[in-house]
Chain A
Amino acid sequence: MMAWVFGSLLFWAAAWALNVRLSRLSAPWVRFFVPALFGMTVIIVWEGMVRGFGVNPVLLPAPSAIAATFVGEIPTLWGDLVQTFFKGALSGYVIGCTAGVLTAIAVDRSPFLQRGLLPVGNFVAALPIVGMAPILVMWFGFGWQSKAAVVVVMVFFPMLVNAVEGLRASETMQRDLMHTYAATPGQGLRKLRLPAAMPFIFNGLKICTTLALIGAIVAEFFGSPIKGMGFRISTEVGRLALDMVWAEIVVAAIVGSAFYGAVALAERVITFWHPSQRG
Chain B
Amino acid sequence: MKSVLAILTVVVALVGFWYAACVPMNIHEAAMQAQRAGEEVTPAEAPERRHMGRISLALKNTGLWSTVFSQERPQLPAPHQVAQEFWKTTWGMIERGRAFSKRSLILHGWITLSATLLGFAFGTALGIVLAVSIVHSRAMDMSVMPWIIASQTVPILAIAPMIVVVLAALSVDDIVAKGVISMYLSFFPVVVGMVKGLRSPDAMQMDQMKTWNATRAETLWKLRLPSSTPYLFASLKVGVAASLIGAVVAELSLSSNGGLGARLLAGSYYGQTVQIWSALFAAAALAAVLVWAIGVAQKVTLKRMGFAQ
Chain A residues within 8 Å of B, Cβ to Cβ: 16, 19-20, 22-24, 30-31, 34-35, 37-39, 42, 59-60, 112-117, 119-120, 122-124, 126-132, 134-135, 138-139, 210, 213-214, 217-218, 221-222, 230, 233, 237, 242, 245, 248-249, 252-253, 256-257, 260
Contacts and interface: CB of A to CB of B under 8 A. Distances in A.
A256 B7 CA distance: 36
A277 to B, nearest CB: 18
Give the secondary structure class of B's interface.
helix
A217 B152 CA distance: 14
B155 A115 contact: no
Given A39-B147, A127-B280, A256 B153 contact: yes
Contacts of B261: 128, 130
Contacts of A120: 7, 10-11, 14
B159 A249 contact: yes
B153 A257 contact: yes
B287 interface: yes
Q: Which 10 A-B pairs have the closest CB atoms?
A: A256-B153, A116-B6, A116-B10, A38-B143, A126-B287, A115-B6, A23-B138, A34-B142, A134-B268, A35-B146
Contact of B165 (A59, A132, A210): A59
A218 B157 contact: yes
Interface in B1-39: 2-3, 5-11, 14, 25
A137 to B, nearest CB: 9
Given A129-B245, A242-B162, A139 B280 contact: no
A122 B284 CA distance: 10
Among B150, B273, B288, the one with the most A-chain Cβ atoms within 10 Å of its Cβ is B150
A113 B137 CA distance: 47
A256 B153 CA distance: 6
B283 A131 contact: yes
Contact of A34 (B75, B143, B281): B143
17 contacts: A23-B138, A23-B141, A34-B143, A35-B147, A38-B147, A59-B166, A59-B169, A116-B10, A126-B244, A126-B288, A127-B281, A135-B277, A210-B152, A213-B153, A221-B157, A248-B158, A256-B154
A214 B155 contact: yes
Given A217-B155, A249-B158, A24 B6 contact: no
A130 B143 CA distance: 33
Contacts of B288: 122-123, 126
Nearest to A242: B162
B129 interface: no
Contacts of B153: 210, 213, 252-253, 256-257, 260
Contacts of A217: 155, 157-158
Given A23-B141, A126-B241, A237-B162, A131 B155 contact: no
Contact of B162 (A113, A134, A245): A245
A128 to B, nearest CB: 5
Contacts of A222: 268
A153 B147 CA distance: 28
Nearest to B273: A135
Contact of A249 (B9, B155, B166, B280): B155
Nearest to A248: B158
B232 interface: no
Contacts of B10: 113, 116-117, 120
B252 interface: yes
Given A23-B142, A116-B3, A134 B276 contact: yes
